[in-house]
Structure 1
């Protein structure tokens, strides 16, 4: 089958091969036919080494498609079922799951170090990003990674819900718990940032300031619910104008860099909330001094995969989409076939598209 493969970490181009096989099918596993997958910035971060991932690997973790076959012991799934791919499934038995923090379950990461693809003839193993790898026509995953979706949810919408939408909405709703009437700033307005903006709007924020260096993303942020959109150089003026210089009630960092996290901290009011949503590098350290940490009493809240039970978050996203409270169709500004993936990568890096849908 066809798949897009990164041969070495640090390369910026994927090679579309037609000799890839999905391996590992057996008890507790399902084989999926991928119909659509999103191109998320986390895929690029894995390609350039910001996020740890062994190579060669097939990127992609936002996927949706159909069940082709189920292994022994799998219940609740049958061939033909429409599903989205959950890249971080909960085991239900670990301490995090028992506390209701299923987004912190590490069971899914245990599979990330096992190759789930190979080149035909067994010449080499190939990993799937985050234990999945959805830039391919078929994939074998644990049954917990295949979440049934209703018939009225298109595959491309389901793929977005599988990560970016859930992450952004959850940051505003679950983690920060944005209060109605509050002031919000969102730094970084790609797909996850746009979802964060929509989450803040759903929560009833009065002012939502979008901050991004790319003009097209600022324009998009206004369409998705931001009350104004500014470049990083204009952020200080927006803080003064919107909050009389006090700082925002909530600031979301959706970039994954210590420099923007520091900017976010400085633009959060005393007693306000800084929410870290972006996934950054292990050697990029965010610093605050002990006096300001004590004196300003700002809450610093990291948000992992939306900060809540992902299955419930999927259901909520679908309900909000059906009710017209969030716009998911308009987030897909770039649609390509698998052969066009490298052009889509270039557009993602330059900020020309909020999110690419790859149709397989």
Structure 2
């Protein structure tokens, strides 16, 4: 198998799915991966349960500089087809909020399913294989184009080469910029990469508050750049995380503030002014503790109404209550940055989709060279969307390689 029809570099979700899709069409397929085992990010995903897709997949769930690019692949291999595959392997799963689907038992079930499909289709998987160089062997034309690979396991040659190396997120799982290097080598342009679905960090007083409240989750509406997410926000030793923060991080730009509505089910101004009438003798912190944790309320008190900490509601001026309400409804936080690729779930941007066929994932200017999965400038929201892009883009390429 040193000269297969198809070589796929990268044994993650997109690479493995592409591999057995192509092999089922009768193509000889070899997957080369530099790690000691394939599918590491699959195994760690979803807290070890793998949020493998979502019941509600739409193009609006994806970030891309060409928002129409992902539509074709997502339509041709949708979430229902993947769910059918999961069920055919007898994998038990359950739905959580927002249509997220998780394995009942373990993410290993999804990886085992992919590997079983690969084995059944005759895919050869080679691990601990470092790619030293890639070159186009013959430029005589599309029919004769081949690719030569020099690897730590010897030389390979193929007709179709698929780059499924992922992005830069979580380098401890083997992430690298190799896919981007290949793209640049063959003249494809790259969009500036940044960490996405990643916790925010702080260097001001919010950092100390976050450390004190570490582990506390709060239901909030978090916004920036006209985008908002209603989800949990989690305080950590380094800043804030949780689904709301992770989602918003993909839209946030360095230097910007984020707005946090701590009372998304209430009109904060009406609530506080109402309490002034109905609970005139009460302290503001005691009333807010009916809605928020006592620890968070004490931190907010220190920030926003320290002079009135021991003042009964009836004695607090309306203007002061309205100012506190504004802070509760739109708490402005300015992150110093994010935790970066170390903990990011995805890499934003990547290979410019204008240079790829949305139908096949093949380079328009380089016949036989394909890019799938996270290395491409398509990034999903949190909730199974990035896995669905991996399955759909892998399938798209697998149908044509």
Q: What TM-score do you get using the length of structure 1 for normalisation? A: 0.27
Q: Rg bigger for which structure? A: 2
Higher RCO (C-alpha under 8 Å, 6+ residues apart): 2
